[in-house]
DNA sequence: GTGAAAGCGCTAACAT
DNA sequence: ATGTTAGCGCTTTCAC
């Protein structure tokens, strides 16, 4: 059994109050006694019982995270980083995997009295997001929604795909590229490109719909070779890597004759030949902001936009 | 603020004890009163405060999970499934991402008084595993180690790669295959093949070392075509899928002329053309066993072996 | 500076 | 069948 405050008090001959003060580095404790207590605590490996602390305090160290079963790189990275940063900062993260159509109410319910903040990482549908909003009010928790389609009551951290894509396209223009090909089918990518093109009249763009896996990119090789373009933007790094793996055989010289840019900043991209230029998600910034929010309960519910960022490597 | 037991007692005019009994479906409560209490609880959305409950009981609803930053499919699947099954069963999972070289002690320390069981999902080195064992004793928690290299004090759930591989090879033999090629470099795969071959004299095997990503499998295409084999076993589904994506162009007819089998049972394999035969990890069985262990504290520390399983689809 | 004591929400031993 | 009461380990108000 772990040592308790009470035992520490008995062992030191001091009152529980003084021991508590000493451990929390309060002023108003004779430094001799403080040292004595701290030494004793170290000796017995004293660790406060957070369940007991949680009972008293309104500030709770537990944070609920609603994740989904998604296993794609960018998503997992967000989850891991958030998880890591929060626990480094001393919070306890309660992760729940919420499969589509799963019961949100039972999740909130199970967190009553434990959790003050719920981070929604799982991409919820319109209806479910609304439900989450209602539940957050019913159960008195603050919602922190990440990258959702609609804003919900609470904090909304939204990811702006446009910025990174615009940077990427400006980079291509500055390299003298003029005939762009966009491979993929993801709505926010296409939208970002269209918006960026408005300010880049020197760039014209063709579209080639396709899936977003490695194999899809590899298959696209010949279609790309057949087109008269000098730059390709892929919806995902995975596709781009698939394409790079066949580009050599097809006689496409990257980046001399053809610039290639992906999206997601997957680790494999940095090791590919040539190193893949890409657009990165604001993973660290999101975790940092969640941390700021949970630390400073006073802030108002609001919306914050996080920009994606172009990472220029060798392939462009 | 959520309703408490005490408030429910005041509202109903009954004692706190009776309310508690009624809610926990104890016998010895007049059914009229029970109904009254249950109705009241429902009306006010009563949810017990687990922090308070945790303080009293020795059986703790919190389970610590030490994960790693690994983002590979089979690993993530194990994590999600475990996480999902445990929370479905009413447990609270505290996930900590433990990066290599990270401090294990601080993790155990932060869980004192909260957690009775710690699941080690992160693949730990010899030294770290030993340290985890020591810490589990110091902090009085039971260890549940999953798929580790060495056994540790507590429960050890080990995954046996051999069984699935042996099934796969027997399947190939029964199909009349005789010249096998093994592509990859993962030690337990090679070992499993060698063991299985001892009982299958009709099968001879060549080895082709390589990486285990999609691109590695695609690159292997020509080398495989050049060899005189009628079956290929890949260390991972990803490689196998990479190979399948180029097999057609190379004139390799799968499965007529060449059987292809992967390992990991990635979702993509079931959708590939042809559907990929593979060896599956015992994901569900592991989660189920963890659940059994945490439910029944009485069991002795022990080692359990989980077999992998061959899944025959179209590619073999 | 220090200590006594109340109480967070719940469970359970012990009455009645 | 139901109520009284004493804690679990901690924080915190209030008195000295």
Contact A112 B49 (CB under 8 A): yes
CA distance A152 to A132: 8
CA–C1' nearest nucleotide, residue A30: C1
Per-residue model confidence (pLDDT) at position B50? 85
pLDDT digits (tens, 9 = 90+) for B211-240: 999 889 988 999 999 999 999 999 999 999
pTM: 0.91
Cβ–Cβ pairs < 8 A, chains A and B: 118
B139 inside 8 A of chain A by CB: yes
Per-residue model confidence (pLDDT) at position A55? 83
B90 inside 8 A of chain A by CB: yes
Q: How far off is chain B from A30, nearest CA to CA, in Å?
A: 28
pLDDT (mean) for B262-287: 96
For residue B56, the chain A residues in CB contact (below 8 A) are none
Q: Select from A1, A45, A245 the Cβ nearest to the Cβ of B215.
A: A245
Q: Select from B55, B112, B214 the Cβ nearest to the Cβ of A55.
A: B55
- Please report, in tens digits, the pLDDT of each residue of chain A (316 residues total): 778 999 899 888 888 999 998 888 887 888 888 898 999 998 888 888 888 888 887 778 999 999 998 999 999 999 999 999 999 999 999 999 998 888 999 999 999 888 999 999 999 999 999 999 999 998 889 999 999 999 999 999 999 999 999 999 999 999 999 999 999 999 999 999 999 999 999 999 999 999 999 889 988 999 999 999 999 999 999 999 999 988 988 999 999 999 999 999 999 999 999 999 999 999 999 999 999 999 886 567 789 999 999 999 999 9
Contact A1 B214 (CB under 8 A): no
Q: How far off is chain A from B49, nearest CA to CA, in Å?
A: 6
For residue A50, the chain B residues in CB contact (below 8 A) are 110, 113-114
For residue B210, the chain A residues in CB contact (below 8 A) are none
Question: Integer distance in angstroms from CA B8 to C1' C9?
Answer: 12
B268 inside 8 A of chain A by CB: yes
Burial pattern B168-183, b for ≥16 Cβ within 10 A else e, equals bbebbbeeebeebbbb
For residue B87, the chain A residues in CB contact (below 8 A) are 96-97, 110
Per-residue model confidence (pLDDT) at position A298? 56
A112 inside 8 A of chain B by CB: yes
Per-residue model confidence (pLDDT) at position A300? 74
Per-residue model confidence (pLDDT) at position A296? 80
Determine whether A232 is exposed, middle or buried from the number of CB atoms within 10 Å of its CB (0-12, 13-18, 19+).
buried
Per-residue model confidence (pLDDT) at position A25? 85
Which tokens go with A242? 């698939």
A113 inside 8 A of chain B by CB: yes
Contact B83 A96 (CB under 8 A): yes
Q: Please name the residues between 149 and 188 in chain A that touch chain B, using a CB distance below 8 Å.
A: none
**Is residue A315 within 8 Å of residue A259, measured between CB atoms?**
yes
Interface test with chain A among B6, B50, B240, by most A beta carbons within 10 Å: B50
Residues near A276 by beta carbon (within 8 Å), at least 6 away in sequence: A237, A240, A241, A244, A260, A261, A262, A269, A270, A313, A314, A315
CA distance A240 to A62: 40
CA distance B312 to B306: 19
Whether nucleic acid strand D comes within 7 Å of the CB of A15, the answer is no
**Is residue A86 within 8 Å of residue A291, measured between CB atoms?**
yes
pLDDT (mean) for B182-203: 96
Which 255-274 positions of B have CB less than 7 A from strand C?
A: none
Helix axes B5-12, B16-23, angle to 10 degrees: 110
Contact B109 A47 (CB under 8 A): yes
For residue A246, the chain B residues in CB contact (below 8 A) are 218
Question: Integer distance in angstroms from CA B1 to C1' D15?
Answer: 31
A49 inside 8 A of chain B by CB: yes
Contact B110 A268 (CB under 8 A): no
CA distance B287 to B262: 23
Across all residues in chain B, what is the average pLDDT? 93
pLDDT digits (tens, 9 = 90+) for A88-146: 999 999 999 998 888 999 999 999 888 999 999 999 999 999 999 999 998 889 999 99
Work out the angle at residue A231's Cα, subtended by the Cα atoms of residues A274 and A159, and round it to the nearest 5 degrees. Answer: 85
Contact A83 B94 (CB under 8 A): no
Residue B27 has pLDDT above 80, yes or no: no
CA distance B51 to A265: 40
Determine whether B271 is exposed, middle or buried from the number of CB atoms within 10 Å of its CB (0-12, 13-18, 19+).
exposed
Nucleotides on chain C within 7 angstroms of protein Cβ = 1-5, 7-13
Contact B83 A97 (CB under 8 A): yes
- B29 or B298, which is more confident? B29
Residue of A nearest to B139 (CA): A2
How confident is residue B299, by pLDDT bands cut at 50, 70 and 90?
A: low
For residue A243, the chain B residues in CB contact (below 8 A) are none
Whether nucleic acid strand C comes within 7 Å of the CB of B245, the answer is no
């Amino acid at each position: 059994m772990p040592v308790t405050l009470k035992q520490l008090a008995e062992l030191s001959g001091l009152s529980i109050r003084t021991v508590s003060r000493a451990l929390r580095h309060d002023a108003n404790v004779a430094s001799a006694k403080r040292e004595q207590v701290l030494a004793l605590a170290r000796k017995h490996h004293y660790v406060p019982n957070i369940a007991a602390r949680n009972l008293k305090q309104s500030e709770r160290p537990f944070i609920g995270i609603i994740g989904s079963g998604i296993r794609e790189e960018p998503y997992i990275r967000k989850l891991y980083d958030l998880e890591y940063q929060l626990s480094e900062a001393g919070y306890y993260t309660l992760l729940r995997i919420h499969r589509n159509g799963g019961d949100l109410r039972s999740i909130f319910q199970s967190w009553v009295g434990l959790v003050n903040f719920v981070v929604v990482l799982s991409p919820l549908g319109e209806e479910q997001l609304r439900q989450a909003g209602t539940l957050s009010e019913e159960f008195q928790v603050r919602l922190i929604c990440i990258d959702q389609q609609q804003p919900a009551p609470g904090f909304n951290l939204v990811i702006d795909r446009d910025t990174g894509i615009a940077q990427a396209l400006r980079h291509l223009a500055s390299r003298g590229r003029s005939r762009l090909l966009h491979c993929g089918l993801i709505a926010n990518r296409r939208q970002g490109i269209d918006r960026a093109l408005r300010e880049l009249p020197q760039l014209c763009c063709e579209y080639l719909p396709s899936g977003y896996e490695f194999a899809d990119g590899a298959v696209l090789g010949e279609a790309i070779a057949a087109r008269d373009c000098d730059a390709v933007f892929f919806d995902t790094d995975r596709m781009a890597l698939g394409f790079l793996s066949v580009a050599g055989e097809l006689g496409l010289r990257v980046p001399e004759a053809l610039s290639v840019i992906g999206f997601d900043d997957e680790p494999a991209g940095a090791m590919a030949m040539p190193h893949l230029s890409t657009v990165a998600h604001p993973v660290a910034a999101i975790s940092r902001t969640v941390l700021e929010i949970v630390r400073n309960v006073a802030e108002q519910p609001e919306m914050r936009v996080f920009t994606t960022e172009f990472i220029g490597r060798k392939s462009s």
